[in-house]
Amino acid sequence: MIVGGGPLVTRDDGCPFLPDGAVAIEAGRIVAVGPTEEIRRRWGEADFLDARGGLIHPGLINGHMHFYSTFARGFGGKGGSAATFTELLERLWWRLDKALTLEDCYYSALYAVVEAVKCGCTTLMDHHASPRAVRGSLFEVARAVLDGGLAASLCYEVSDRDGPDVAAEGIAENRAFIDHVAASGEPRLAAAFGLHASMTLSDATLERCAAAGEGAGFHVHVAEGPEDERLCRERHGLSVVGRLQRFGLLGPRSLAIHCVHVDDDEKELLAETETAVVHNPESNMGNAVGFAPVLDLMKRGVLVGLGTDGYVSDLFRSLALANALQKQGLADPDAGWTEVPTMLFRNNARIADRHFSLPRGRLVPGFAGDVIVIDYRPPTELSEKNVNGHLLFGPGAVNVVATVASGEVLMKDRCLTRLDEPAIAARCRELARAVHGRF
């Protein structure tokens, strides 16, 4: 198929922008990018998705997501108010995740996939938890991802908070899914080894996780709230990042999520080990955990990406919030102009490259055929030099009119082609009532 007929952003250094471009996709991969007229002449028999002058852009990548949080939406304060981040975990999230069944895991993920498609997000790095339905949970989430036509890296959140048996099940689920992905050869799936956070993991459990997840890379919350850092130093005499390094859990395939309270030594250790960090601005603000020093991390050479932490699927929203938060936090109106778009549009693709067998996030031959069309008629000139400024202050997820993933049209003219959103939402409401009853 061909997607063309509008200004095209490749996110490739060699040819970043075409005023009237097109992408040719075959067998799920991009085979050519160029002027619309030329591409249509070369592939005259291909189906043509006409952007009608809209902006053609690579599918977006979410660096950190929680599919299972879907059923928390509109839940209210049943668990009571929380004065600290730990209380919020105890009173909401650690009660919600224990109420999930395997069917809940599937449908909460499937609804999140629906929203991702509508928001132009085609690849997600997810972090899952369902302590009373551990075995098979990643396979149910993977089924939802593939049923929806997207790509995802999945892991299970190992923690000691629910006892040794649940921790052992989490380790086994991670290992089983890692082996499954390796054997399947499915390019839309990747696997990491999930860990909750230092403050809920004993040395013995970390040692078992390090052995079971060797080579896979670890996806872990790092110094999100001040409690994580304080407890690590009190209990172990180490910083959170230092403790993870002690067990060999850092490296190019690992994701350190948040890093709000890391100190200078930890920043240097993240850079030395080439561990990627994912910033989640809306979550950090909503949970009142603090201001993440992501620009400083980037200056030190750390690869920093952008995620939503399960709050939403709208990465344009996260882009705008990250931009505003850096300016507010640093009291500098010039802060983040270059770095924040780099997190989403360049670094998330580089993070995905470390996990998936097929490169993503750029409109380049050989990459995954993930393309979105944004209905945007700019009021000022649009070029390779200012496209990030347009995307920051112009269109949002509501302007995404078409989403193509692995060469399949999943949404056209804002209508989903594969998933039945009303039916999925109806089943989710039924399941959510039961989840809230078990809460």
CATH code of 2-59+360-416, in short, is: 2.30.40.10
The H-or-E segment that residue 426 falls in is helix 421-438
Measured between alpha carbons, how far apart are the two ends of the chain, in Å? 47
Q: Tokens 């496209």 label which residue?
A: 387
What is the torsion angle, in degrees rounded to the nearest 10, for the CA atoms of residue 228, residue 230, residue 232 and residue 237?
160
Cβ–Cβ under 8 Å, residues 82 and 92: yes
φ/ψ of 211, rounded to 5, equals: -70, -45
Cβ–Cβ under 8 Å, residues 330 and 359: no
Please give, one letter per residue, the 3-state secondary structure of 51-81. Answer: CCCCEEEECEEEEEECHHHHHHCCCCCCCCC
Q: Tokens 């100190």 label which residue?
A: 263
Q: Where are the domains of the chain?
A: 2-59+360-416
Going by C-alpha positions, the residue among 87, 191, 116 that lies closest to residue 370 is: 116
Cα angle 335, 61, 382 (rounded to 5 degrees) comes to 60
Q: In what order do the strands lie in the sheet with 193-197?
A: 193-197, 218-222, 255-258, 276-279, 304-306
Judging by DSSP bridges, how do beta strands 151-154 and 121-126 pair with one another?
A: parallel
Does the CA dihedral 104-108-109-113 come out positive or negative? positive
How many other β-carbons are positioned within 10 Å of the β-carbon of residue 385? 10
Over its length of 439 residues, how does the chain's per-residue pLDDT go in tens digits? 999 999 999 999 888 999 999 999 999 999 999 999 999 999 989 999 999 999 999 999 999 999 999 999 987 766 778 889 999 999 989 999 999 999 999 999 999 999 999 999 999 999 999 999 999 999 999 999 999 999 999 999 999 999 999 999 999 999 999 999 999 999 999 999 999 999 999 999 999 999 999 989 999 999 999 999 999 999 999 999 999 999 999 999 999 999 999 999 999 999 999 999 999 999 999 999 999 999 999 999 999 999 999 999 999 999 999 999 999 999 999 999 999 999 999 999 999 999 999 999 999 999 999 999 999 999 999 999 999 999 999 999 999 999 999 999 999 999 999 999 999 999 999 999 999 999 8
